Structure 1
Amino acid sequence: MVSVSRDRADLLAAEFVLGSLDRAARRAAARRYEEDRDFADRVDLWAERLFPLTQAMSSELPEDTVWAGIEAEVNGQTAAEAAAQSVPVPRRAFPFALLGWGGTALAAALALFLLTPLSVEPPRRDLVASLEAADSGLAWEMALERTEGRLTLQRRGAWPAAPDQSLELWLISAEGRVRSLGLLPPAAEAALALDDQALESLRPGATLAVSREPLGGSPGAGPSGPVILSAGLRLP
């Protein structure tokens, strides 16, 4: 797990997007947004992060008397004078105002979010193996698609088994346990479905091997014929 810290600039950018700053702080943040490219990037990122929250909020504009009161404060009028003069006027919201009307509730949630260390799960990479015999040109490229529960196979070179033979794929776990993953299909590109136990064993340190067997596969719990290719699993 990776702990990600957030500095004051990040918190200020988030509060600016939410509209939870007081007038002086909001004006200062607006100036900083115009002058500080790093801060502007933080603001834009928080706007992108928080915008989906607005989709759960009903669209609602304040009464015209509220707009009149705002204009009164700006123009020095009394609230009564502004209310008497108010008429409905269509208005375009400031970009961040989408979040501002619900800013108080969102700010509380944001505070909890910002004070909680963020855990970032490392990306889970699939495993691959290259089974190759340089002298014959035969090779298999194998990749584990863990979420799909399958192993994809891509063969290069001619099919190296007689009509009365099968090729079987084996998994040797890091602990040395051997199990069959099934018969390899003759197609150049194919996939093998894997059960949960096989998926658990497929990790770095394990080995994949291909053996030549009687038609239908090995009669025993392990390879009965020669192992023609093997390779360890690795992260890409």
Structure 2
Amino acid sequence: MPRIEIICVGNELLMGLTVNTNASWLSQEIYKLGCVVARHTVVGDDVDCIAEAVKESLKRRTDLLILTGGLGPTYDDKTLEGVAKALSRRLEVNEQALKQVEAKYRELAERGVIAKFELTPTRVKMATLPSKSIPIRNPVGTAPAVMINYKASKIFCLPGVPDEMKAIFTESVAPIIKQLVGDLSVAEGCLEVKNLPESSLAPILDKVVEKRRGVYLKSHPRGFEGSE
């Protein structure tokens, strides 16, 4: 089974201003594909923190690393800069990504969403990627996602906006995970137990797990022991 990790970037996550629904959604979707995410990491909009998180993940021989957030045009969108630093690669304007950004803003101008089409420096920033990156079409927003092959690992940088992240993952990332996983699948079930404290159930769970190494059991008690 491939090792998959998720790094979510954003000061708003660390400050508690935004709930990290991206990591939860990604983990659920990856689980449906037959894998379990090994680790969630949250870092702020800081180049060094992002770079360190990426390097630490790669040291753990992560097969597929997914980052969310920090791909936009503003000063605090620093994910790609952090990834470039971690991989010792330079940032450069990617012509394919620039064409994607240009097409999006031309469309917005034609629809009257923006006054006129311009490739401003902040828009070009969204097409400035680590060298050897592969831009991925964003069907919802303006910032392309990014795929980077680094040694035996694949790194995906996805937008933090949930609708954009979900669309790109479903269209471009999930098929790659399916290739890595092959025919592996996950089966699950739920058993309701009444009038039995969790401490009494625990020894039974121990025996099952000991005999079935590939099985994961999780009890979800409602209320405290002794309550109905």
TM-score for both structures, normalised by structure 2 = 0.23
Higher relative CO (Cα under 8 Å, sequence separation at least 6) belongs to: 2
Report which of the two has the higher share of strand.
1
TM-score for both structures, normalised by structure 1 = 0.22
Report which of the two has the higher share of helix.
2
